[in-house]
Protein backbone atom coordinates (compact mmCIF):
# COMPACT_ATOMS: atom_id res chain seq x y z
CA UNK A 1 0.00 0.00 0.00
CA UNK A 2 1.30 3.45 -0.91
CA UNK A 3 1.83 5.78 2.05
CA UNK A 4 2.19 9.51 2.26
CA UNK A 5 5.41 11.00 3.64
CA UNK A 6 5.18 12.99 6.89
CA UNK A 7 7.06 16.11 7.93
CA UNK A 8 7.99 16.82 11.56
CA UNK A 9 9.22 20.29 12.52
CA UNK A 10 11.26 20.95 15.66
CA UNK A 11 10.37 24.16 17.49
CA UNK A 12 11.15 25.87 20.77
CA UNK A 13 8.28 28.34 21.08
CA UNK A 14 4.52 28.63 20.83
CA UNK A 15 4.82 31.00 17.88
CA UNK A 16 7.10 28.67 15.95
CA UNK A 17 4.78 25.72 16.66
CA UNK A 18 1.73 27.63 15.42
CA UNK A 19 3.64 28.78 12.35
CA UNK A 20 4.76 25.24 11.52
CA UNK A 21 1.18 24.05 11.85
CA UNK A 22 -0.04 26.78 9.48
CA UNK A 23 2.63 25.69 7.03
CA UNK A 24 1.17 22.20 7.01
CA UNK A 25 3.57 20.29 9.29
CA UNK A 26 2.26 16.88 10.27
CA UNK A 27 3.88 16.85 13.71
CA UNK A 28 5.82 19.09 16.10
CA UNK A 29 8.88 18.17 18.11
CA UNK A 30 8.86 20.57 21.04
CA UNK A 31 12.02 21.33 22.95
CA UNK A 32 13.97 24.19 24.44
CA UNK A 33 17.35 25.58 23.32
CA UNK A 34 17.65 24.26 19.79
CA UNK A 35 21.20 25.65 19.58
CA UNK A 36 22.41 22.67 21.65
CA UNK A 37 20.19 20.12 19.93
CA UNK A 38 17.24 20.65 22.25
CA UNK A 39 16.54 19.91 25.90
CA UNK A 40 13.32 19.30 27.85
CA UNK A 41 10.91 22.25 27.57
CA UNK A 42 9.15 23.59 30.64
CA UNK A 43 5.61 22.45 31.36
CA UNK A 44 4.13 25.88 30.68
CA UNK A 45 5.47 25.72 27.12
CA UNK A 46 4.04 22.24 26.55
CA UNK A 47 0.62 23.31 27.79
CA UNK A 48 0.66 26.54 25.79
CA UNK A 49 1.55 24.74 22.55
CA UNK A 50 -1.09 22.09 23.29
CA UNK A 51 -3.72 24.83 23.57
CA UNK A 52 -2.64 26.41 20.28
CA UNK A 53 -2.35 23.46 17.92
CA UNK A 54 -4.14 20.18 17.29
CA UNK A 55 -1.47 18.26 15.38
CA UNK A 56 0.66 15.76 17.32
CA UNK A 57 3.29 17.16 19.69
CA UNK A 58 6.33 15.05 20.53
CA UNK A 59 8.22 16.42 23.54
CA UNK A 60 11.99 16.19 23.97
CA UNK A 61 13.12 14.50 27.20
CA UNK A 62 16.74 15.51 27.63
CA UNK A 63 17.89 16.91 30.99
CA UNK A 64 20.95 18.75 29.68
CA UNK A 65 23.11 19.43 26.65
CA UNK A 66 26.22 17.41 25.93
CA UNK A 67 26.59 13.66 25.79
CA UNK A 68 23.84 11.10 26.35
CA UNK A 69 25.37 9.20 29.27
CA UNK A 70 23.23 10.16 32.24
CA UNK A 71 23.73 9.95 35.99
CA UNK A 72 21.20 8.32 38.30
CA UNK A 73 19.88 11.75 39.25
CA UNK A 74 19.48 12.73 35.60
CA UNK A 75 17.73 9.45 34.85
CA UNK A 76 15.31 10.12 37.70
CA UNK A 77 14.66 13.59 36.27
CA UNK A 78 13.92 12.08 32.85
CA UNK A 79 11.36 9.73 34.40
CA UNK A 80 9.68 12.67 36.12
CA UNK A 81 9.67 14.69 32.88
CA UNK A 82 8.03 11.82 31.00
CA UNK A 83 5.09 11.72 33.39
CA UNK A 84 4.73 15.50 33.47
CA UNK A 85 4.91 15.82 29.68
CA UNK A 86 2.35 13.09 29.16
CA UNK A 87 0.01 14.73 31.67
CA UNK A 88 0.50 18.10 29.95
CA UNK A 89 -0.78 16.85 26.60
CA UNK A 90 2.20 15.34 24.77
CA UNK A 91 1.34 12.87 21.99
CA UNK A 92 4.81 11.32 21.92
CA UNK A 93 8.23 11.59 23.54
CA UNK A 94 11.77 11.92 22.23
CA UNK A 95 14.80 10.63 24.14
CA UNK A 96 17.80 8.33 24.08
CA UNK A 97 20.37 7.01 26.54
CA UNK A 98 23.83 5.64 25.80
CA UNK A 99 26.35 3.69 27.84
CA UNK A 100 29.87 5.07 28.38
CA UNK A 101 31.05 3.04 25.37
CA UNK A 102 28.40 4.86 23.29
CA UNK A 103 26.26 1.77 22.73
CA UNK A 104 22.52 2.08 23.31
CA UNK A 105 21.65 1.63 26.97
CA UNK A 106 18.97 -0.98 26.39
CA UNK A 107 17.89 -1.45 30.00
CA UNK A 108 17.37 2.20 30.90
CA UNK A 109 15.94 3.18 27.53
CA UNK A 110 13.45 0.29 27.71
CA UNK A 111 12.45 1.40 31.22
CA UNK A 112 11.66 4.87 29.92
CA UNK A 113 9.79 3.52 26.89
CA UNK A 114 7.61 1.41 29.18
CA UNK A 115 7.05 4.38 31.48
CA UNK A 116 6.00 6.48 28.49
CA UNK A 117 3.22 4.10 27.44
CA UNK A 118 0.84 4.50 25.72
CA UNK A 119 2.78 7.30 24.02
CA UNK A 120 5.16 6.40 21.16
CA UNK A 121 8.86 7.13 21.57
CA UNK A 122 11.45 8.48 19.13
CA UNK A 123 15.06 7.58 19.92
CA UNK A 124 16.78 10.85 19.05
CA UNK A 125 20.16 11.65 17.53
CA UNK A 126 22.05 10.05 20.38
CA UNK A 127 21.84 7.27 17.81
CA UNK A 128 24.40 9.09 15.66
CA UNK A 129 27.03 8.78 18.39
CA UNK A 130 26.82 4.97 18.33
CA UNK A 131 29.84 3.20 16.78
CA UNK A 132 27.80 0.45 15.07
CA UNK A 133 24.58 1.62 13.44
CA UNK A 134 23.29 -1.85 12.57
CA UNK A 135 23.71 -3.01 16.16
CA UNK A 136 22.26 0.25 17.50
CA UNK A 137 19.20 -0.15 15.29
CA UNK A 138 18.56 -3.64 16.62
CA UNK A 139 19.06 -2.43 20.19
CA UNK A 140 16.57 0.44 19.79
CA UNK A 141 14.02 -1.98 18.35
CA UNK A 142 14.52 -4.17 21.43
CA UNK A 143 13.84 -1.13 23.62
CA UNK A 144 10.38 -0.77 22.09
CA UNK A 145 10.78 2.66 20.51
CA UNK A 146 8.68 3.52 17.45
CA UNK A 147 11.14 5.76 15.62
CA UNK A 148 14.81 6.68 15.27
CA UNK A 149 15.86 10.22 14.37
CA UNK A 150 19.22 10.18 12.61
CA UNK A 151 21.54 12.05 10.27
CA UNK A 152 23.31 8.81 9.45
CA UNK A 153 26.20 9.85 11.67
CA UNK A 154 27.10 12.89 9.58
CA UNK A 155 26.77 16.60 10.31
CA UNK A 156 23.74 16.68 8.01
CA UNK A 157 21.28 14.13 6.68
CA UNK A 158 22.55 14.78 3.17
CA UNK A 159 26.07 13.88 4.28
CA UNK A 160 24.79 10.67 5.87
CA UNK A 161 22.37 9.75 3.09
CA UNK A 162 23.95 6.36 2.35
CA UNK A 163 23.81 5.29 6.00
CA UNK A 164 20.22 6.50 6.28
CA UNK A 165 19.21 4.51 3.20
CA UNK A 166 20.86 1.43 4.71
CA UNK A 167 19.02 1.96 8.00
CA UNK A 168 15.64 2.40 6.28
CA UNK A 169 16.17 -0.87 4.41
CA UNK A 170 17.40 -2.73 7.50
CA UNK A 171 14.58 -1.38 9.68
CA UNK A 172 11.85 -2.60 7.36
CA UNK A 173 8.55 -2.58 9.20
CA UNK A 174 10.17 -2.94 12.63
CA UNK A 175 10.75 0.76 13.28
CA UNK A 176 10.51 4.08 11.41
CA UNK A 177 13.74 5.85 10.45
CA UNK A 178 13.44 9.65 10.37
CA UNK A 179 16.21 11.55 8.55
CA UNK A 180 17.04 14.83 10.27
CA UNK A 181 19.70 17.60 10.38
CA UNK A 182 20.06 20.28 7.75
CA UNK A 183 16.95 19.29 5.82
CA UNK A 184 15.34 22.07 3.80
CA UNK A 185 13.61 22.83 0.52
CA UNK A 186 16.90 22.49 -1.34
CA UNK A 187 17.53 18.87 -0.44
CA UNK A 188 14.40 17.17 0.88
CA UNK A 189 13.36 15.69 -2.46
CA UNK A 190 16.85 14.32 -3.03
CA UNK A 191 16.84 12.76 0.43
CA UNK A 192 13.35 11.34 0.02
CA UNK A 193 14.25 9.73 -3.28
CA UNK A 194 17.57 8.35 -2.05
CA UNK A 195 16.45 7.01 1.34
CA UNK A 196 12.82 5.97 0.77
CA UNK A 197 12.10 7.24 4.29
CA UNK A 198 8.48 7.72 5.33
CA UNK A 199 9.01 10.66 7.68
CA UNK A 200 11.38 13.62 7.73
CA UNK A 201 12.49 16.02 10.45
CA UNK A 202 13.52 19.65 9.96
CA UNK A 203 14.18 22.59 12.23
CA UNK A 204 14.97 25.21 9.58
CA UNK A 205 17.42 26.61 12.11
CA UNK A 206 18.89 29.17 9.70
CA UNK A 207 15.49 30.84 9.38
CA UNK A 208 14.83 31.17 13.12
CA UNK A 209 18.42 31.45 14.38
CA UNK A 210 18.45 35.22 14.76
CA UNK A 211 16.80 37.42 17.32
CA UNK A 212 14.45 38.76 14.66
CA UNK A 213 13.06 35.38 13.59
CA UNK A 214 11.48 35.41 10.13
CA UNK A 215 8.23 33.55 10.78
CA UNK A 216 6.76 34.40 7.38
CA UNK A 217 9.72 32.76 5.68
CA UNK A 218 9.56 29.88 8.16
CA UNK A 219 5.94 29.19 7.25
CA UNK A 220 6.74 29.47 3.55
CA UNK A 221 9.61 26.98 3.86
CA UNK A 222 7.51 24.48 5.79
CA UNK A 223 4.71 24.76 3.25
CA UNK A 224 7.12 24.26 0.37
CA UNK A 225 8.56 21.09 1.93
CA UNK A 226 5.09 19.72 2.61
CA UNK A 227 4.13 20.37 -1.00
CA UNK A 228 7.26 18.64 -2.27
CA UNK A 229 6.65 15.56 -0.14
CA UNK A 230 3.01 15.44 -1.23
CA UNK A 231 4.17 14.56 -4.74
CA UNK A 232 5.84 11.39 -3.44
CA UNK A 233 4.69 8.13 -1.89
CA UNK A 234 6.52 5.13 -0.51
CA UNK A 235 5.54 1.47 -0.40
Domain-located, residue 95: yes
State the total domains in the chain.
1
The verdict on whether omega for the bond into residue 81 sits within 30 degrees of 0, i.e. cis, is no
Domain-located, residue 222: yes
pLDDT along the chain (235 residues), means of 10: 86 94 97 91 97 97 97 98 97 98 98 98 97 98 98 97 98 97 96 97 75 81 96 84
Domain-located, residue 235: no
Question: DSSP string spanning 190-214?
Answer: HHHHHH--SEEEE--HHHHSSSS--
Domain-located, residue 13: yes
At 35, which CATH number? 3.20.20.380
Domain-located, residue 146: yes
Domain-located, residue 132: yes
- Structural domain containing residue 199: 6-230
Domain-located, residue 51: yes
Tell me the H-state helices in 23-148. Answer: 43-52, 72-87, 106-116, 133-143
Summarize pLDDT for 172-181 with one digit per residue, the tens.
Answer: 999 999 999 9
Domain-located, residue 1: no
Q: What distance in Å separates the CA atoms of residue 1 and residue 23, rounded to the nearest whole number?
A: 27
Amino acid sequence: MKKTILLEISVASVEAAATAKRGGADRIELCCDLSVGGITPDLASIRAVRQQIQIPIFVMIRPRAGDFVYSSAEFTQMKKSIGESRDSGADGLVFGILKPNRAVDIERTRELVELAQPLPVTFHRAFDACPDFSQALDYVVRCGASRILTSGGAASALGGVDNIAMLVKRAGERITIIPGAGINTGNILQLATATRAREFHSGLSSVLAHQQADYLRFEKEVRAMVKMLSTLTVD
